[in-house]
């Protein structure tokens, strides 16, 4: 395995451990992957390995072309085909899957996390969608691959940009998020959990509260993202 792939394994291992540090998983639930498109591979957590034992050596390289492992010492996460379909469809560098409490509750309720204010709009340009329920055939045949396909289908059906809303709730399952790398994908997972918790409280305070105007949502999203973003510091000497 190349030094580049070894570095990616280290990065993805740290991102998986960050899922635990942020309280987004319990047991062996959840997984994070990171991709090197030039090398034609991504790496993902090995299946069922306790987080307390996890090392970079447990990160399994997967062919972007075939979706098959390039190293067979460990069996990759059972969600590997889902990550593969997301990488095939979306221009992202990392994918995270958690079973965090509030975001998973919305997934199990088949309910989008509504964009109700600027905190949400700082990260997601609109509500985080929920997929349609999977059919019996989809579940019983190639389930994990079909999970990825229904995520992609949801964005196509709703006309959403995966760059503007880098997250989805899989109906009756849980959240998937993606970003520029594995660490960024975990950050989005943490933010999504916070927003889901806040949305639960909003529904208790004012279940019929009106959604914010599009111009407010767009303003908050655009000031952090895209060519005209002005939030934070510009890269320069000593900054990155």
Whole-number pLDDT of residue 194: 98
Q: Taking the chain (240 residues) in consecutive chunks of 10 residues, what is each chunk's mean pLDDT?
A: 76 95 87 96 93 92 95 91 98 96 98 96 96 98 97 98 97 97 97 98 96 91 78 58
* Domain extent at residue 9: 3-222
Q: Looking at the domain assignment, is residue 169 inside a domain? A: yes
Whole-number pLDDT of residue 233: 61
Just list the catalytic residues: 122, 231
Residue with tokens 């510009």: 234
Domain count, the chain: 1
Specify whether the CB–CB gap between 184 and 162 falls below 8 A. Answer: no
Q: Looking at the domain assignment, is residue 229 inside a domain? A: no
pTM for the full predicted model: 0.91
Q: Looking at the domain assignment, is residue 168 inside a domain? A: yes
Whole-number pLDDT of residue 3: 60
Q: Looking at the domain assignment, is residue 9 inside a domain? A: yes
Q: Looking at the domain assignment, is residue 66 inside a domain? A: yes
List the CATH number of the domain containing 38: 3.40.225.10
3-class secondary structure for the chain?
Answer: CCHHHHHHHHHHHHHHHHHHHCCCCCCCCCEEEEEECCCCEEEEEECCCCHHHCCHHHEEEEECCCCCECCCCCCECCCHHHHHHHHHHCCCCEEEECCCHHHHHHHHCCCCECCCCHHHHCCCCCCECECCCCCHHHHHCCHHHHHHHHHHHHHHHHCCCCCCCCEEEECCCEEEEEECCHHHHHHHHHHHHHHHHHHHHHHHHCCCCCCCCHHHHHHHHHCCCCCCCCCCCCCCCCCC
Q: Looking at the domain assignment, is residue 228 inside a domain? A: no
Q: Looking at the domain assignment, is residue 193 inside a domain? A: yes
Specify whether the CB–CB gap between 59 and 12 falls below 8 A. Answer: yes
Q: Looking at the domain assignment, is residue 76 inside a domain? A: yes
């Amino acid at each position: 395995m190349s030094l580049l792939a070894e570095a990616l394994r280290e990065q993805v291992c740290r991102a998986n451990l960050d899922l635990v540090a942020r309280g987004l998983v319990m047991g062996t639930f959840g997984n994070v992957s990171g991709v090197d498109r030039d090398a034609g591979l991504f790496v993902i957590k090995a299946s069922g390995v306790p987080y307390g034992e996890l090392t970079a050596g447990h990160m399994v390289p997967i062919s972007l072309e075939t979706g098959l492992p390039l190293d067979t010492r460990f069996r990759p996460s059972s969600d590997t085909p889902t990550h593969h379909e997301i990488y095939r469809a979306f221009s992202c560098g990392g994918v995270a899957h958690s079973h965090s409490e509030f975001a998973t509750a919305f997934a199990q309720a088949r309910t989008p996390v509504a964009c109700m204010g600027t905190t949400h709009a700082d990260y997601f340009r609109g509500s985080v969608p929920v997929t349609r329920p999977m059919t019996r055939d989809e579940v019983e045949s190639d389930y994990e691959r079909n999970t990825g396909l229904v995520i992609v289908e949801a964005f196509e059906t709703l006309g959403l940009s995966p760059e503007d809303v880098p997250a989805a709730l899989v109906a009756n399952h849980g959240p998937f998020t993606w970003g520029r790398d594995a660490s960024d994908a975990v950050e989005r997972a943490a933010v999504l959990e916070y927003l889901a918790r806040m949305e639960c409280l909003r529904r208790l305070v004012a279940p019929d509260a009106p959604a914010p105007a599009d111009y407010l949502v767009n303003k908050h999203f655009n000031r952090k993202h895209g060519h005209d973003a002005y939030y934070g510091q510009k890269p320069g000497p000593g900054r990155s």
